[in-house]
Amino acid sequence: MEKLRKVVNEIAYTQDHAKLSSLNRSLLPLLTVASFLYRVTLSLRRYLYHFGLFSKQRLPVPVISVGNLTWGGNGKTPMVEFIAQWLADSGISPLILTRGYAGGDEARMLTRHLLGTSSKIGIGANRAATATCFLKQYGYLDPKSFLFEGMWVDQTVRSPLNFGKIGAVVLDDGMQHWSLDRDLEIVMVNGLSPWGNHQLIPLGPLREPMAALRRADVAVVHHANLVSKQSLKDIELMMKEVKESLPVFFARMSPSHFFEVGNINFRIPLDVIQDAIVLCVSAIGSANAFVQGIEKMGAFYVDRIDFTDHHSFQTQPQPEVFRVCGRQPQGTYL
Name the 3-class secondary structure at 80. helix
* 143-174 per-position pLDDT tens digit: 876 664 454 555 555 565 566 899 999 999 99
Q: What is the mean pLDDT of residues 243-271?
A: 90
User: Do 209 and 83 sit in the same domain of this protein?
Assistant: yes
**Cα(117)–Cα(84) distance, integer angstroms:** 9
User: Do 99 and 178 sit in the same domain of this protein?
Assistant: yes
> Where does the pLDDT of residue 16 fall: very low under 50, low under 70, confident under 90, or very high at 90 and above?
confident
User: Do 264 and 229 sit in the same domain of this protein?
Assistant: no
Residue 161, domain member (yes or no): yes
CB 207 within 8 A of CB 71: yes
Kindly give the pairing relationship between strand 258-260 and strand 263-268.
antiparallel
> Where does the pLDDT of residue 49 fall: very low under 50, low under 70, confident under 90, or very high at 90 and above?
very high
Mean pLDDT of the chain: 87
User: Do 207 and 266 sit in the same domain of this protein?
Assistant: no
User: Do 265 and 121 sit in the same domain of this protein?
Assistant: no
pLDDT value of residue 202 = 94
User: Do 318 and 215 sit in the same domain of this protein?
Assistant: no
**Cα(319)–Cα(327) distance, integer angstroms:** 13
> Where does the pLDDT of residue 264 fall: very low under 50, low under 70, confident under 90, or very high at 90 and above?
confident
Check residues 158 and 120 and name the one with the higher pLDDT.
Answer: 120
User: Do 159 and 305 sit in the same domain of this protein?
Assistant: no
Looking at the chain, the whole-number percentage of residues with pLDDT higher than 70 is 87
CB 210 within 8 A of CB 195: yes
CB 95 within 8 A of CB 64: no
User: Do 205 and 287 sit in the same domain of this protein?
Assistant: no
Please state which of the ranges 67-76, 237-246, 287-296, 321-330 shows the lowest mean pLDDT: 321-330
Residue 246, domain member (yes or no): yes
User: Do 211 and 269 sit in the same domain of this protein?
Assistant: no
CATH (domain of 203): 3.40.50
User: Do 130 and 159 sit in the same domain of this protein?
Assistant: yes
Residue 18, domain member (yes or no): no
Residue 272, domain member (yes or no): yes
Residue 3, domain member (yes or no): no
Query: What is the residue range of 307's domain?
Result: 259-333
Does residue 327 have a pLDDT over 80? no
**Cα(163)–Cα(44) distance, integer angstroms:** 43
Please name which of 321, 109, 70, 320 lies closest in space to residue 219, comparing C-alpha atoms. Answer: 70
Of 233, 250, 267, the one marking the end of a domain is: 250
> Where does the pLDDT of residue 17 fall: very low under 50, low under 70, confident under 90, or very high at 90 and above?
confident
User: Do 301 and 192 sit in the same domain of this protein?
Assistant: no
CB 80 within 8 A of CB 227: no
- Exposure of 316 in the CB half-sphere (CA atoms within 13 A): 3
Residue 54, domain member (yes or no): no
**Cα(203)–Cα(33) distance, integer angstroms:** 9
pLDDT value of residue 4 = 81
Of 250, 275, 301, the one marking the end of a domain is: 250
* 69-106 per-position pLDDT tens digit: 998 789 999 999 999 999 999 889 999 999 876 557 88
* 168-210 per-position pLDDT tens digit: 999 999 999 999 999 999 999 999 999 999 999 999 999 999 9
Check residues 23 and 149 and name the one with the higher pLDDT.
Answer: 23
Of 181, 216, 250, the one marking the end of a domain is: 250
Count of Cβ atoms closer than 10 Å to residue 10 Cβ: 13
Q: What total number of domains does the chain contain?
A: 2
Can you name the residues that pair with 222 across neighbouring β-strands? 190
User: Do 236 and 197 sit in the same domain of this protein?
Assistant: yes
